[in-house]
Structure 1
């Protein structure tokens, strides 16, 4: 063993970064309450907690995005103060944010090196930036051309670019806030390989994820936050899934089971031979001749890996994507050529996968976002009934259990999970008959996930809603769905009842089953 390896082994596990009694307040809201948190050299410290527990706030403080109200940050035994992310990066601390912070109008290369351009004798060395970007993409098993505009990439690919940008800084402490929220199973495996490689090079990592079982495979230390305070700490060998859930929410939540005890109605939504063209590859279809019928009161789960076509299918049914062949029938009526607004008026709504880009207006308040889709219900001509709007907003906040200071609060003040609830509440306020949800649990913790699935289950059982949701998590398929449709390469590969097994579903999707 060489001297460098001996030195690294001796340092392994020692505390490299500490947060001492960190507190952070936003007005009367105490986001963090005297939190103590350690990062260990060459190891992964995973931070668990529900949405709103303070995880992202703590990470933003450690990475210089914001400053604490009180408390100290100790780096290598010395107190430090970061007034910006640039200062934190100079000290070797980088963060991959939960919400993507890419510039969609720029290409991949320019996003990776934004603010850190490689300058040569003749100015910016774009060729070298492209070379390094291509190398990073190869390491992440995502052969994206460095000159590709980010806005042309699917959400999972954008997440890979975000990860590549953080890796390009060559940090000694890397914070990953929900890095796998938009990744497929195969992409997650690549990321975990990168994490193992970074650890072998002495990089310290902080990992945040709502995918609890997934996080357990990479963590060395576990810390749980609850309501802004640290409630538990343990080493990996001393914890399991039950320990995490118990310390996070107090009870072992599950996602429920298919609602029963009622008769399903007639087919509400029927898809006949739906084909969606690939805008980037002429002659290729991302959805190829898909037919599906959903009854009133039925919950159908569409499962598939990234690129299977499930997102494109739901978006085309909702009117957001082109259909080159086939028909969409709602209550037997052909709505294939109707606009998005007309489909909403007819009772068909979509909760999109990317809440930031497609589901929310960042300049609007919580209440304004909630009432946006149902504005016609309280508007006549140029006049708006503010009283009726307030009723709609308050009912949505209550029904979907949104944690907020009130309807006037900024949408950006909410945690990721509560923002997702706003998107769901906004669409439910239109009183739909068919609800399409594309990855509805993305960025939502286990407690909030249970609430969302309970809401869908009650909607199907009590209101006769036809519910179709897509997911890349097998566990979600085996929760409230009466029927599971597996997609692969744009086609329906298999269909199962509620008694399907994890192995059957994964095998049908072409995904390797990991023991």
Structure 2
């Protein structure tokens, strides 16, 4: 396999092992209406290896797994398993063949025993009924294989989530799996639980199982994986031996270095930077949430854009949700314009002039069955209270102003938001909060999943708002976008703030993220 983008990462395939791959996917394409999720992607899994699939959100990792396990049928391409061409009818067929998947969310029955979960659907029977003694004995064999000391008769729900996940692995390999897929298995585990998971993975690897491992924690990938495949925007970047690919080269491969020329955005950002400064409009002191984000300090002044940079899972979204009161912190305080603000809910931050556009546009943003008009005035109406409706004339003025300002299309306030493009839906969300005249605007991935033109428009609006005095906190997975707009950039890794940089370059940020170990550790904070 050669690199699809030689300029961003070393080209060429990883060293060939002495055995044939147990899985080989070649030239995989996956099309959905209006979206090409996978574009000529290939993947090889070898027996006795842990193979990490790396890429940012939207890179195609989950889609590739679903093609392999039969959830999706590829538009084009071939898959071989154990030397035979296959196209599984579904996950059940894939499991019967020897490919088992354990997802981030444990999909077991907590009201049943450990043994019943491990052998569910394959229970030993005697005289037409389930043989409980034989089932517990068989479950013990599977638990012993991975070195998990657990009473097979105990109820699964009595055990912590981490233990339940290990039981899910025992169930997955109980079918004599040749391939084990672990999709984000460590996202809710602490350091000791991760160590136990990795011990079990090594046992299975040494038994010849091919393990496909998906994680956004870089250090874990380098600790446990033997080989990795890197995807970006649905395309293959390259396959590498983990030991031969530096962290910096991996980040370059995952994030890319293509720069879109946005000269006007850059000019506006420079104007805003010249005017920024003074007393903080927003100030967080020791704000944190146990298990989610280590305590941090942050100041944002009028006219300043502070960017948040880090890989998926680094704590960017967790940080801004604490600032907005969407998640309740268990330490620290927040001040807006010098006054303490309660963070029991978003109500007080909104009243203090804080606005937040969530990354989850469909789940926490737009109301698809309402019109542009109704969506746009929603936050204004909420601040007034439902007993005081926004006058029709005021509503029309707000809608006309912000539809024109953000170039929302179609230019029809009665059009349903659910029928708009992703870029125009994002503009409606932004307009909703701008209509409240906030002093602080928090934007979490405002340009994700929208076209290049809409991205440029939204970045231009952000730069203009900062130039006019608004304080902005900005998150984007695209580091070039963050550095283009931001006066300062806060860098996070493994849910810890590790640095705060003034006008950094993309290389500056990537070097920091590539460092081995952030301090302090999140575990110490929790």
Whether TM exceeds 0.5 here: the answer is yes
From 169, 172, 182, give the equivalent of 1:169: 172
In the alignment, is the contact (CA less than 8 A) between 1:18 and 1:38 conserved in 2?
A: yes
Q: CA deviation at 1:17?
A: 1.2
From 233, 251, 256, give the equivalent of 1:249: 256
Structure 2 CA distance for partners of 1:232 and 1:183, relative to 1, 3 Å? same
Determine if the alignment matches structure 1 residue 147 to structure 2 residue 157: yes
Structure 2 CA distance for partners of 1:395 and 1:217, relative to 1, 3 Å? farther
Task: Give secondary structure in 1 for the equivalent of 2:157.
Answer: coil
Q: Which residue of 1 aligns with 2:276?
A: 263
Structure 2 CA distance for partners of 1:486 and 1:129, relative to 1, 3 Å? same
Unaligned runs of 5+ in 1: 1-9, 281-285, 399-405, 472-476
For the pair shown, the structure with the greater C-alpha radius of gyration is: 2
Work out the CA distance in 2 between the residues paired with 1:360 and 1:196: 38
Correspondence list, 1:86-101, <5 A: 86-97=92-103, 100-101=104-105
Correspondence list, 1:98-117, <5 A: 100-102=104-106, 113=117, 116=120
In the alignment of these two chains, the number of paired residues is 452
Work out the CA distance in 1 between the residues paired with 2:307 and 2:144: 36
Q: CA deviation at 1:185?
A: 6.7
Work out the CA distance in 2 between the residues paired with 1:71 and 1:370: 45
Moved more, 323-332 or 495-504: 495-504
In the alignment, is the contact (CA less than 8 A) between 1:366 and 1:410 conserved in 2?
A: no
Work out the CA distance in 2 between the residues paired with 1:131 and 1:225: 38
Task: Give secondary structure in 2 for the equivalent of 1:30.
Answer: strand
TM-score, L = length of structure 2: 0.57
Correspondence list, 1:31-430, <5 A: 31-49=37-55, 51-97=57-103, 100-102=104-106, 113=117, 116=120, 120-121=130-131, 146-147=156-157, 165-166=168-169, 168-170=171-173, 171-180=177-186, 191-209=197-215, 215-216=221-222, 218-225=224-231, 228-230=234-236, 232-236=238-242, 239-240=245-246, 241-242=248-249, 245-246=252-253, 249=256, 251=258, 261-270=274-283, 294-297=300-303, 318-320=324-326, 328-336=334-342, 339-341=345-347, 343-349=349-355, 360=363, 375-376=378-379, 388=399, 395=406, 408=418, 426=429, 430=433
Structure 2 CA distance for partners of 1:165 and 1:297, relative to 1, 3 Å? farther
Unaligned runs of 5+ in 2: 1-15, 124-129, 261-268, 383-388, 410-415, 477-481
Q: Which residue of 2 aligns with 1:509?
A: 520
Structure 2 CA distance for partners of 1:333 and 1:238, relative to 1, 3 Å? closer
Q: Deviations over 1:425-464 (max 9, x none)?
A: 94785134335689x79x99xx9xx99xx89995895465
Give the CA RMSD over aligned residues.
Answer: 6.8
Task: Give secondary structure in 2 for the equivalent of 1:73.
Answer: strand
Determine if the alignment matches structure 1 residue 29 to structure 2 residue 35: yes
